[in-house]
Amino acid sequence: VYQFAKQRDTASTPSSQPTTSPAPTSGPQTETVTQLSNTQHQMFKTMTKSLNIPHFLYAQEIDFSGLSKLRSRLNHTLAKVPAANDLTKLSFLPFIIKAVSMTLTQYPILNARVDTDPKTSKPVLVMRNQHNIGIAMDTPSGLIVPVIKNVSSLNILSIASELNRLQSLASNGKLTTPDLSGGTITVSNIGSIGGTYVSPVIVEREVAILGIGKMITIPAFDEEGKVVRREVCNFSWSADHRVVDGATMARAAEVVRAFVEDPDSMVVHLR
Ligand code: CAO
């Protein structure tokens, strides 16, 4: 009883002295110089050049429910009957890469690069017919962006195989210069690690990049006002605002959304 009363007294006395002592000082700050790794050095050069590009950010929430169901169905089949190259599983990315390529057919400006006309010294757009989609990859040595070439000529299974091939070479540090060059647009799926939104940085010789956040499950209302389960994911586009206006970026992003939200609609375009 006495102890209880004493504790209560102490707690209720505003002028009581603090019982904690200040953190001990740990000496002066020290600084150590570290050289950049090769990958950091490359990232430093590339990203410094990207500072010259005025970025326009456009973000949208995509309903992944249909894609998620389709992926589960296909993965169920692939687990029993593997596809070529022993492919037994598809992630979301091959579908998104295909949707981006199909959209580039309608919006070729997003596959272009900015250059300077040597005769007039005026800026020009260089249009490119092949969709060479760079994929940002997190590897033991840091950020690497290998390129899936000519995506419009590939189906979703062959995109997945190529993605696996590049991912395996990247994680073993065995990518070659051809694997890393010739990109015309980039996709960065940071959502496989985490994050809702990302503000992706356009790389030189490209005018757009797509950043993908983490897919999450949310309660939503259906058309009858009933609460339903939805899987959603945020897509964040950055475009070079010197040559791509907001309306063009928004229209193209809406085409990607339509393909991803209704993946069956991609079937008619597949090769
Ligand atoms: N939201 C939720 N889950 C996701 C997801 C997302 N956006 N993206 C992938 N996943 C899931 C996959 O479906 C898979 O799940 P299951 O095991 O259930 O099938 C799991 O996460 C692992 O996917 P993955 O990473 O192996 O495959 P991927 O094709 O989606 O991505 C790659 C491949 C190489 C892009 C990815 O591994 C990676 O490196 N991401 C980081 C990119 C990055 O660093 N970007 C920042 C660049 S700027 O610094």
ipTM entry:
0.96
Is the Cα dihedral 234, 152, 157, 203 positive or negative? negative
The residue contributing the CA closest to ligand 1 atom 17 is 91
Ligand 1 center–CA 207 separation, angstroms: 23
Check if 76 is active-site. Answer: no
Specify the pLDDT at position 84. Answer: 75
Ligand 1 mean position, distance from CA 138 (Å):
9
Using one digit for the tens of pLDDT, what is the confidence trace for 5-55?
Answer: 334 444 444 445 555 666 667 899 999 999 999 999 999 999 999 999 999
245 counts as catalytic: yes
pLDDT tens column, 5-16: 334 444 444 445
Ligand 1 atom with minimal separation from the 215 CA:
1
Q: What are 57-109's pLDDT values in tens digits?
A: 999 999 999 999 999 999 999 988 878 777 889 999 999 999 999 999 999 99
Phi then psi for 237, rounded to 5 degrees? -100, 140
The gap from C-alpha 234 to its chain's centroid, in whole angstroms, comes to: 10
The set of protein residues with a Cβ atom below 6 angstroms from ligand 1 is 89, 91-93, 135-138, 143, 163, 167, 188-193, 212, 214-215, 233
Read off the tokens for 204: 């030189």
The mean per-residue pLDDT over the stretch 121-128 comes to 98
Catalytic one among 9, 41, 115, 245? 245
Distance from the alpha carbon of residue 72 to the mean position of ligand 1, in angstroms: 16
DSSP letter for each residue of 15-53: TPPP-SPPPPP--S------PPPHHHHHHHHHHHHHTTS
Residue identifier of the C-alpha nearest atom 19 of ligand 1: 91
Which of 189, 197, 214, 260 has most ligand 1 atoms within 8 Å of CB, for mutation? 189
- In angstroms, what is the span from residue 159 Cα to ligand 1's centroid? 15
Determine the pLDDT at residue 117.
97
